[in-house]
Amino acid sequence: MKGTAATPPPPKPRVVFGFDFGMRQIGVAVGQEVTHSATPLTTLKARDGKPNWDLVTRLIEQWRPDLLIVGLPLNMDQSEQLLTQAARRFGNRLHGRYGLAVEWVDERLSTIEARERLNLKPSSLGRHPELDQVAAQCILQTWLREQ
């Protein structure tokens, strides 16, 4: 039919990575917009907030995310702290290395939520090996809910 515009295809659902940044460990989760779900993926060791970038590259190549979400550790009054600035540097490095868009999510209380999901008591000593990746899942699910 002349003059009838074809309907554009629906946008491709994006694969999204979530990061729970820390100076010694960085949790990673993967999610997708279709199901609005996120899954803990791994925890990367870090030295002074710097991960093994070869491992990050492998994850990016394997999962091919379209967008990266980095948790922003703010104080309860929403002011920034030194860790907030380090998380911003980490996100900026992700963007610089991989050319992927980075968005930020307030991550306050994500570790508490992760501890609850793992049934860890606040008084339990030590760190659960999956705590940071579950916190990344919480951060990513917050972003997915806001979309």
Q: Is the separation of the CB atoms in 90 and 19 below 8 Å? A: yes
- Which residues fall within 8 angstroms of residue 47, CB to CB, at 6 or more apart? 24
Rounded mean pLDDT of the chain?
Answer: 89
Which pLDDT belongs to residue 79?
A: 86
The pLDDT assigned to 112 comes to 78
Supply φ then ψ for residue 30, to 5 degrees.
-125, 145
Phi, psi of 100 (to 5 degrees): -95, 145
What is the rounded CA–CA span in Å between residue 88 and residue 129? 24
Does position 1 have pLDDT exceeding 60, yes or no?
no
Half-sphere exposure (Cβ direction) of 10: Cα atoms closer than 13 Å:
4
Query: Residue 79: how many CB atoms within 10 A of its CB?
Result: 8
pTM: 0.86
* Rounded distance between C-alpha atoms, residue 94 and residue 60, angstroms: 10
Question: pLDDT tens, 61-103?
Answer: 999 999 999 999 988 888 888 999 999 999 999 999 999 999 9
pLDDT, one tens digit per residue, over 94-133 is: 999 999 999 999 998 787 788 788 887 766 656 778 989 9
Tens digits of residue pLDDT in 132-147: 999 999 999 999 999 8
Average pLDDT of the residues in 26-33: 96
Biggest alpha carbon distance in the chain?
71
What is residue 4's predicted lDDT score, i.e. its pLDDT? 58
Nearest to 71 by CA among 133, 1, 5: 133
Q: Is 24 in contact with 45 (CB distance < 8 Å)?
A: yes
Q: Where are the domains of the chain?
A: 25-146
Range 25-146: architecture per CATH = 2-Layer Sandwich (3.30)
